[in-house]
Chains A and B, each alone.
Chain A
Amino acid sequence: MKSIKTRIFIFCIILLAGCGVASADTGKDMEELRLSPEMSAVPLDERESLLKILNDAVKAGVPSTDIALIVKRGLARGWESKSIKESVLLLTKTEQQGLPLTSLLDRFHQGQAKGVPFERVSASANKLTEKLSAADGMVGSLMRGGMKEGKGDEKGKTIQTVARAMERSVPDAAVMQIGAKLMKSNSPLSKLDAAVSTMTNAIEMGMQPAQASKMMNMAIDKGYSETDMMMMEREMFSMMRDGATMNDVMRNMETMMNSGGMGFSGSGMGGGAMIHNGTGMSGSPGMTHGGSGMGGGGGGMHGR
């Protein structure tokens, strides 16, 4: 008798702890959402169908924390439940296609936080999903060709980087050209990620896609490492900040690469954020000016 009681007791404890841990994330988020004041504002019939879609999304693997946040923010921003359903369905579909979700979730979070209307968020998210799908095909073909994936979710990261590049009008051919070159030199996927990221950032700084592509091809031919590419990008940004034109920047980069030296070594931090590492500190003590001047030094202010 005692033995049975002990077994029942231990079983119950384990069951409770297991259930508690397993549902701590999913259950808590969804239950909080179901009981939230935002949700109670949704008509009952709509609420049931919305909750079903949300549960399906969680089952598909979309993180419940993100879903809850998107729904709460959407309702708080006055999005109709139809719009929220559409958003969550897009996330579910993307997850089911095996595409990385991070950048898409970020697009929703960012758009909602900044008060961007649903139509614009939806258009941007749909466009991103298309690009993710195309990027997945490109990265997949390079991997099938022999490009190796390193630690962690390098594939997912690279797909998102390529998708961002495509959003910035980087031609598919430019990405594939770089990919093919790196594949030939047995470079890992992380190097493609770094190269495409640098190329995209250069385009965002104002460089023409053709110029950026030429520069990256040159860097790869010269054997630039991922760190070199990052430092190259910082150098470009620094020059731009100092008032150099894009042509000057491009010329400088070409000269630097042709001179044989990488020209980029060591590490450091720039920008408005200070980096602390316990006892040490590196980086420039940047300070952001804004407020009274409504955004200082090119910061710009977007009040919505």
Chain B
Amino acid sequence: MDNDRELIHKLLDGGLPSDETAALMKRVNSDPDLLEEFTLLKEAVTVIEKSERKQASASFTSDVMRRLSSGAKAERKGWRNFFFGERIFRWNMAYAAAALLLAVLTAGGIYNFRSGGQIPYSALDKSAVTVKFNFYSPDAKSVSVAGDFNKWRTDAGVMRREEGGIWTIKIPLKPGAYNYMFVMNGDAWITDPEAAAYHDDGFGYKNSVVRVDKL
């Protein structure tokens, strides 16, 4: 079929031998689609042949060649047109879905990058509950809460000193039980005496336990 189309173009250009022309016309006449295409093309050729011909200026070829003279320049222009040339935006659902997926993945990647993967809980999680940790120590220089919810990082749950020597922090946690301890002045690990429960930490010490219920 595609081969016949090529032959049709060749025929209309006057470059097809007579024996091939006869064979081609036989096939064209037996195929309505091909016949319609052939008829339309022939009409187009006729219209073009009948239309007025304008004489090109003497400098036409040299003008064209001058414009094409610099290959690199033309290439640059091509790239400029590629980036800054105005174009019509066409879209379909597949492209839109792919773009959306890309946006979501990128946003996820950025979020993960920003959080550094340090916090296994998420404030965005609807089931997360804000838990307020309190610690009383008027003499402490710094206090943080470290637990399995922040991979025991002493720099992640830095508490804020409030009036009366109370240190506090609010942390969003998903329902479950979490082990934690307070870290005073960077190196003193303290069990919360007011904890909901205690668990052995596997090293001979007691972790405090906070339980977060589904609300």
Contacts and interface: CB of A to CB of B under 8 A. Distances in A.
Contacts, number: 203
Interface string A251-288: 00000000000000001011111111110100001111
B131 A29 contact: no
B139 A270 contact: no
A83 B23 CA distance: 84
Interface of A: 1-2, 5-6, 9, 14, 17-18, 20-21, 24-25, 28-29, 63, 65-66, 69, 106-107, 109-116, 120-121, 124, 128, 167-168, 201, 204, 230, 233-234, 237, 267, 269-278, 280, 285-292, 295-304
Contact of B194 (A18, A112, A272, A276): A272
Interface string B144-161: 001010011110000000
Which of B131, B137, B196 has its CB near the most chain A CB atoms (within 10 A)? B196
Contacts of B131: 273-276
A288 B82 contact: no
Interface secondary structure of B, over-half rule:
mixed
A29 B117 contact: yes
Contacts of B110: 24
Interface in B45-91: 78-79, 82
A167 B200 CA distance: 10
Contacts of A20: 106, 109
Interface stretch (B3-11, B33-41, B204-212): B204-212
B25 interface: no
9 contacts: A17-B105, A113-B151, A114-B201, A272-B192, A272-B194, A278-B130, A291-B135, A297-B193, A302-B189
A178 to B, nearest CB: 19
The interface centre, meaning the residue of A1, A17, A233, A304 with most chain B CB atoms within 10 A of its CB, is: A17
